Structure 1
Amino acid sequence: MSWYGTGIAYIITTAISMRCFFKVKFPALSLLERVGFPIILWLIVAHVGDSGCSSVIMSFSYSSIGFALGLAKVIGNRMIKGNIVRVPQSTSTEILWKVSQALGDIAFAYPYSIILIEIQDTLKSQLPENKTMKKASMIAIFITTFFYLFCGCFGYAAFGNNTPGNILKGFGFYEPYWLIDFANACIVLHLVGGYQMFSLTVFVIVEKWIAQKYPSSGFVNNLYTVQIPCLPPYQINLLRICFRTAYVVSTTGIAMLFPYFNPVLGVLGALNFWPLAIYFPVEMYSVQRKIGPWTRKCVVLQTFGLV
């Protein structure tokens, strides 16, 4: 469910960036054309092996652009908007809700915990996997936090309490148009690769389970070779086509039902982050270290998990 929910969130985020791009470049497109293009894109991605998109380069590009545009707008405004003490005309309940939503958004910004164990399981190196991943995770978290923190801070300083959930959406109709379009394109390419990465894990698990359950089914196990002119032969499987198509259509359909951006990310971030990044590591550590119940260390760890 964590991977499925992340796929839905990625589609929502991608759709926002594509909508900004289409609204500026192709305002005459109908609603059907704007919806049909993303669905076709996701279907193609689901059936290929590797998109070849470099998520690191794409993420670095649009984060740098968002940070630079936010800084430039603050300089252009000659003032820092927003209020770090209190949001004007907001009740205590609304402030509590917005703070909680922000924490959920921050949690969603670190979805690597969902696939951390999967990546670690595939490593083949001389050093132990836990040591390799510990160093890699620390570097990745530091770089990610640096860019996201600066993007968030300068975005709020630029737009104040009117800061959009997607910071690039706030610059959507400001110069330079080409730079904003490029940043939105980087987001789309990044999330296309990310959607494929999370979804392929689901595809492999489900398809392997069905193949083991129905070993004599031709629909499940037979491969058929398709020859497309000017392209190498491609093998297809009926189960793979049906299941992956249904998966993409369902995630896209659910994403279209949600009219909000940040609340959805906040909920998904909380649901994904806490069990995988807090609960399970604490429980595994307690078992590994043989920490007894109601000891001081046990109480501290359980309090940490609860908070």
Structure 2
Amino acid sequence: MVNADDMQFYLEECEYGSEVQKPGNVLLDDDGKPKRTGNVWTASAHIVTAIIGSGVLSLAWGVAQLGWIAGVTTLVVFSGITLYTSSLLADCYRSHETGKRNYTYMEAVKNNLGGKMYIACGMVQYANLYGMIIGYTITASISMAAIQKSDCYHKRGHEAPCSVSHNPYMIGLGILEIFLSQIPNFHKLSILSIIAAIMSFGYSSIGVGLALAKVISGNGEKTALTGVEVGIGLSEAEKTWRMFRAFGDIAFAYTYSQILIEIQDTLKAQPPEHKVMKKANTMAIFTTTTFYMMCGCIGYAAFGNNAPGNLLTGFGFYEPFWLVDVANICIVVHLVGAYQVFSQPLFCAFESWAIWMWPNSKFITEEYLISLGGSTKYRLSVNILRLVWRTLFVIVATILSMVMPFFNDILAFLGALGYWPLTVYFPIHMYIAQKKIGSWSLRWIGLQLINFICLLVAVAAACGSIQGLSKDLNAFKPFKVKD
């Protein structure tokens, strides 16, 4: 039998790996776990790594569908809502009455809203996380293929048939992620997140710079206050569907709440975690919104109503080809890190469950130390469960990415699936429960109004993305992706 203390210890092992120690060690936090060392900068790096991903590349297309007024307004509104609800969620890290920590998003939901909501949250959160991983695999492969195509266009001309298969790149990325997935836990990802965050600024800056140069040179294309105009080749119905998908793309670009609690759990106990997390939220969202506005607005000004679905791989830019290549390399490096940031909650959930179910199994619990290069100074800790399960996890994600490589519509669907429940619904209802806000009070009405409006946007985005995916599937042959 497994008693409560042992179960807690096993859960901690999943979160902290071999650093977990039984009580009595002086380097422990107030909950008996090894002292957390995170700060506002590492938290901001994790957030930026999670937010500025593939979504930023579709913003010029999104603004083109909505136009200057609705496009800019949507970016600002989503930014404000995300910042507000993220602050509410940060207050849910510790219990209002006991001060007990919630180590994961799901645990916060369970302790504030009960078991049924816990199950519903888990289904949405884990589906969204796995969807994000698939989305990042697709995007990284598109960027890798774009490097090959860029070099081909440079050598053979812009009209050359430079068709490239994405599948080898997806397989290569999958092999790399199998190795990186052996990083034991979230607390070992700080360096990877910082590198990824730097890369995100790099490719965003290149995209903005190239678009700005196009505008300054006078080669910017036609734009409109209301976006892409109905006419030949675009019906009113298709315009509406595109607008719905644009809402989903923009929502996707602000999605990170599903790992906010896990990020907050890396912070030092002093200053109070919720204050540091709110500051990190503000810094990260202000930074990303600035980049989003530049990418979306300058990209739209450069390409007008013909803005590509992916700013750097849609080949609105051909030259300088080497700079486009550098930007796509930055995208790949960033997404390699983001893949791990979104994978860790899934890894931890399964492994903690397995340890709880079979605590005496060496296959599950034993850690084997392997010396690297024959040196006892550099040793790698290997767990058989971690090796087998995480490898299978990456393989399945790679195969699914090869089956459904639809960039914009996948982003819109993921945005619709994850933004409303994880960024809005659960944070608002946890905050209401924790602060005991009375029904029909002015504050309660205001929170529910935000909740309802975001639900309508999510439903519209889901409908638009499903319509787009259905069109893609009609013309798609699995495992034969070339563009």
User: Take 2:196 and 2:179, find their aligned partners in 1: how far apart are those partners?
Assistant: 18
Stretch of structure 1 that moved more, 79-88 or 133-142: 79-88
* 1:16 maps onto 2:151 in alignment: no
Task: Indicate the residue corresponding to 2:196 in structure 1.
Answer: 55
| Deviation digits for residues 207-251 of structure 1 (CA, Å, limit 9, x no counterpart) | 122011101222212233434436633232221111101110111
Are the equivalent residues in 1 in contact too, given 2:215–2:301 (CA < 8 A)? yes
Which segment drifts farther, 44-53 or 58-67? 44-53
Bigger relative contact order (CA 8 A; separation at least 6): 1
Instruction: State the shift of 1:186 in Å.
Output: 0.7
Q: Which moved more, 1:160-169 or 1:88-97?
A: 88-97
Alignment equivalent of 2:226, drawn from 85, 89, 99: 85
What stretches of structure 2 of length at least 5 have no aligned partner? 1-125, 153-161, 454-483
Aligned equivalent of 2:342, options 198, 203, 219? 198
Partner of 2:274: 130
The count of residues paired between Structure 1 and Structure 2 equals: 307
What is the deviation of 1:187? 0.7
Residue number in structure 2 paired with 1:218: 362
> Residue in 2 aligned with 1:167?
311
Report the alpha carbon displacement of residue 172 of structure 1 after superposing the two structures with TM.
Answer: 6.8
Secondary structure class of the residue paired with 1:126: coil
Please give the secondary structure, in 2, of the residue aligned with 1:168: coil
2:215 matched residue in structure 1? 74
C-alpha change, 1:267 and 1:292, in structure 2 (3 Å) is same
Query: Partners of 1:159 and 1:172 in 2: how far apart?
Result: 7
Query: Could you tell me which of 152, 156, 179 is aligned with 1:44?
Result: 179
Q: CA deviation at 1:166?
A: 1.6
Unmatched runs of 5 consecutive residues or more in structure 1: none
Distance 2:240 2:135 in 1: 23
Q: Which residue number corresponds to residue 63 of structure 2? A: none
Task: Give the aligned partner of residue 116 of structure 1.
Answer: 260
8 Å CA contact 2:138–2:170 kept in 1: the answer is: no
Where do 1:228-243 residues align within 5 Å?
228-229=372-373, 232-243=378-389
Other structure's SS at 1:175 match: coil
Cα distance in structure 2, aligned partners of 1:100 and 1:172? 24
TM, length-normalised to structure 1? 0.91
Work out which of the residue numbers 421, 431, 435 in structure 2 matches 1:289: 435
Question: 1:257 corresponds to which letter in structure 2?
Answer: V
The answer to whether the Cα contact below 8 Å between 2:220 and 2:303 also exists between their aligned partners in 1 is no
Cα RMSD over matched residues? 2.4
Q: Which amino acid aligns with 2:402?
A: M
List per-residue Cα deviations over 1:93-117 (Å, max 9, x = no partner): 2222222211111111123212111
Please say if residues 174 and 394 of structure 2, whose CA atoms lie closer than 8 Å, have aligned partners that are also in contact.
yes
TM-score by length of 2: 0.59
Aligned counterparts of 1:32 and 1:61: Cα–Cα separation in 2:
26
Q: Distance in 2 between matches of 1:191 and 1:206?
A: 23
Aligned match of 2:82: none
Give the 3 Å change call, closer, same or farther, for CA 229–296 of structure 1 in structure 2: closer
SS in structure 1 opposite 2:313? helix
- Letter of the structure 1 residue corresponding to residue 297 of structure 2: C
- Rounded to whole Å, the distance in 2 between the matches of 1:29 and 1:292 is 58
Give 1:290 deviation, angstroms: 2.4
